[in-house]
Chains A and B, each alone.
Chain A
Amino acid sequence: QKEVEQNSGPLSVPEGAIASLNCTYSDRGSQSFFWYRQYSGKSPELIMSIYSNGDKEDGRFTAQLNKASQYVSLLIRDSQPSDSATYLCAVNRNGNKLVFGAGTILRVKS
């Protein structure tokens, strides 16, 4: 079992729809969780961090964390073609090293 698992996609959504990206992790001791966006040929860019159970909203993005289910998700409302990228879920156990999922490719079609 991989430490951080994501569906590789591609996930295709029409412009204006809600994109839902999911991630599960194996280590119950994980303390902090991050979503990064990576455009083709570019380095990852931090979108959201979340540390507590529940929802955290920032603009069109909402991160959701459920530690009991070991599940973290990212919702993107009003999806735009510019949101098309690979989304990386990352988990920090105890310390400063992140464990990354393989990423989910999102395609927003206009």
Chain B
Amino acid sequence: GAVVSQHPSWVICKSGTSVKIECRSLDFQATTMFWYRQFPKQSLMLMATSNEGSKATYEQGVEKDKFLINHASLTLSTLTVTSAHPEDSSFYICSAGSGTSGGETQYFGPGTRLLVL
């Protein structure tokens, strides 16, 4: 149980284009999903918390107009990187929360590698 999928697993795009990444909880409903970014040899950095049916909460320093998050259902959240630039190249990982608030366990998707040329 507690399987989270992400699509696509790899994206290569030209600078200036937008890229959409999907995150799905396959066997449970997740009221909360999280989006992280990880650069090589660095730790996970939380970008935003996504709640179903409401606006995402962004961490300090993360541009909400550049990283658009939509959480339309209890099993799907999407991250759109708008007007991507080479510095946006990174490993983007989502997680979905399962459990009661205060003890919620996060299960991670396999991640999406984005390379912006």
Instruction: Spell out A's residues near B (CB within 8 Å).
Output: 31-32, 34, 36, 42-46, 49, 51, 88, 90, 92, 94-98, 100-103
Instruction: Spell out B's residues near A (CB within 8 Å).
Output: 2, 32, 34, 43-44, 46, 49, 91, 93, 97, 101-111
Please name the residue on chain A nearest to B2 by beta carbon. A46
| CB within 8 Å for A32 and B108 given contacts A96-B49, A97-B46, A100-B43 | no
Q: Which of A36, A49, A95, A96 has the most CB of B within 10 A?
A: A96
Contact A88 B44 (CB under 8 A): yes
Residues from chain A with a CB closer than 8 A to the CB of B97 are 96
Complex: how many Å from CA A49 to CA B103?
9
Contact B104 A92 (CB under 8 A): yes
Residues from chain A with a CB closer than 8 A to the CB of B102 are 31-32, 92, 94-96
